[in-house]
């Protein structure tokens, strides 16, 4: 088989080799330059001041989940806090469940949005009403179907607030269940968290998840709330963070005890609908954020495509495979460390398959959300 010097004489294969090397270098920048920030991050010991907090939960037809998860929230180990549940047009037993817990917990308050046939609204109205009802400056958000992993959740998330820190990004994971779909959803959630935690540590915060997010009430008002995207069904979490987070006002919290968990969608159609709903907002991200987020999957796609092409080229395959194996080793190391930090299990080996598969799934869903935008529902 010809040597690399002979390959360089063939312009076509030489260009493919350059593309392969260039895409590999870009992947190294992401894994070793960005993602490693989270993998090797060491928490600083801070003297937290536990000022009063308002926990805001927006719920529509979440009676069963509220009955199951509200006690975990209402019994958090924290000096002073209130829990505000915004009952948004629920038609199930949500009102009865809330009345039951209000009798047992004086720190539980509710706001009710009545259904109006002439007026439709999204979750942002419920979030805004919850914020206006909050008594305290520090706000912590989660959903009615989410369960904090411990009674230290409130302390860990709120403990990062300071004169400078106005936003705290947390991790909202999914319960592990049998099946390949569950593994893919948890892998997708893991990788998104790796991105937004790492970017925040690089002083480029771009999003957070409403299942576990905290920010100051004054920031909401100074940033004009959701006024720039109130018409969109999504964006109460990621777009708000994208508009208001800076390299100096944002902190992250990833201790196991600070996580929240919720049940994932039980079918691909339901999950893809949710995913397309989220994709409907990322076109409004800041330009630099969109570039950074798009370059990683694009370089990954080019890496795999040029890898396959070079396996049929005159070059010694051993060199191509060595580069592939090197990237795979780095990838496995980063994902394993991220799994440990985010308390996710049984994803490591299958992540190698998902690394390639996710390119096609995400591109298909992104394209679908752009070509045929849906009239997305409340959640």
| Same structural domain, 202 and 108 | yes
- Could you tell me if 69 and 136 lie in one domain? yes
Task: Identify whether residues 253 and 335 lie together within a single domain.
Answer: no
Model pLDDT for residues 125-148, shown as the tens digit of each residue? 999 999 999 999 999 999 999 999
Structural domain contains residue 249? yes
In the predicted model, what is the mean pLDDT of residues 226-248?
90
The CATH code of the domain that includes 146 is: 3.90.550.10
Residue 235 sits in the same domain as residue 204:
yes
> Model confidence over 63-113: pLDDT tens digits?
999 999 999 999 999 999 999 999 998 889 999 999 999 999 999 999 998
Quick check: is 368 in a domain? no
Residue 355 falls within a domain, yes or no?
A: no
On whether residue 110 sits in a domain, the answer given is yes
Among 254, 278, 302, residue at a domain's last position = 278
| Cα–Cα dist 20/341, whole Å | 31
Dihedrals phi, psi of 374, to nearest 5 degrees:
-95, 160
Give the domain-ending residue among 278, 312, 329: 278
The answer to whether residues 249 and 161 belong to one domain is: yes
Q: Is residue 87 domain-shared with residue 201, that is, in the same domain?
A: yes
Answer for the pair 77, 101: CB distance below 8 angstroms, yes or no.
Answer: no
pLDDT of 4 above 60: no
Report the alpha-carbon distance of residue 115 to residue 91 in Å, rounded. 9
Kindly state whether residue 299 falls inside one of the protein's structural domains: yes
Pairing verdict, β 260-262 and 172-174: parallel
The answer to whether residue 365 is domain-embedded is no
Task: Tell me, yes or no, whether 273 and 293 share the same domain.
Answer: no
Mean pLDDT, residues 250-259? 97
Judge if 93 and 32 occupy the same domain. no
Is residue 34 situated within a structural domain?
Answer: yes
H/E run at residue 82: strand 81-88
Tell me if 358 is assigned to some domain: no
Could you give the C-alpha distances from 151 to 28, 77, 138, 254, in angstroms and in order?
A: 39, 5, 18, 15
pTM: 0.92
**By residue range, what is the domain housing residue 63?**
53-278
Q: Of the candidates 250, 278, 306, which is a domain's last residue?
A: 278
Instruction: Check whether residue 166 and residue 295 sit in a common domain.
Output: no
Co-location of 127 and 172 in the same domain: yes
Q: Check whether residue 296 and residue 165 sit in a common domain.
A: no
65 and 191 share a domain? yes
Count of structural domains within the chain: 2
pLDDT in tens, 178-202: 999 999 999 999 999 999 999 999 9
């Amino acid at each position: 088989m010809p040597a690399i010097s002979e390959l360089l004489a063939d312009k076509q294969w030489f260009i493919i080799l350059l593309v392969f090397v260039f895409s590999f270098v870009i992947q190294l920048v992401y894994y070793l330059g960005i993602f490693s920030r989270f993998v090797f991050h060491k928490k600083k010991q801070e003297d937290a001041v536990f000022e009063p907090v308002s926990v805001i939960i927006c719920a529509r037809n979440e009676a069963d989940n509220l009955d199951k998860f509200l006690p975990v929230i209402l019994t958090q180990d924290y000096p002073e806090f209130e829990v505000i549940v915004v009952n948004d047009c629920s038609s199930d037993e949500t009102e009865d469940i809330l009345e039951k817990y209000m009798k047992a917990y004086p720190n539980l308050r509710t706001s009710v949005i009545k259904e109006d046939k002439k007026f439709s609204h999204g979750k942002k109205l419920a979030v805004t009403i919850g914020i206006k009802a909050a008594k305290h400056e520090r706000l912590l958000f989660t959903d009615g179907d989410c369960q904090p992993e411990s009674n230290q959740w409130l302390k860990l998330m709120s403990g990062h607030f300071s004169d400078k820190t106005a936003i705290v990004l947390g991790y909202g994971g999914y319960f592990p269940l049998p099946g390949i779909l569950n593994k893919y959803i948890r892998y997708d959630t893991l990788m998104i968290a790796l991105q937004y935690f790492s970017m925040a540590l690089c002083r480029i915060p771009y999003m957070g998840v409403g299942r576990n997010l905290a920010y100051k009430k004054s920031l909401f008002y100074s940033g004009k709330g959701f006024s720039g995207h109130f018409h969109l069904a999504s964006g109460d979490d990621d777009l708000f963070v994208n508009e208001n987070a800076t390299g100096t006002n944002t902190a992250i919290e990833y201790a196991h005890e600070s996580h929240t968990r919720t049940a994932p969608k039980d079918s691909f159609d339901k999950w893809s609908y949710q995913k397309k709903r989220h994709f409907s907002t990322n076109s409004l991200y800041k330009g630099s954020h969109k570039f950074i987020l798009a370059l990683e999957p694009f370089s990954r796609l080019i890496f795999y495509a040029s890898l396959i092409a070079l396996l049929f080229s005159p070059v010694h395959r051993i060199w191509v495979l060595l580069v592939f194996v090197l990237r795979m080793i780095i990838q496995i190391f980063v994902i394993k460390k991220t799994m440990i930090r985010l308390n996710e299990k049984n994803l490591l080996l299958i992540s190698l398959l998902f690394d390639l598969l996710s390119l096609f799934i995400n591109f298909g869903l992104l394209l679908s959300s752009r070509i045929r935008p849906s009239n997305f529902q409340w959640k």
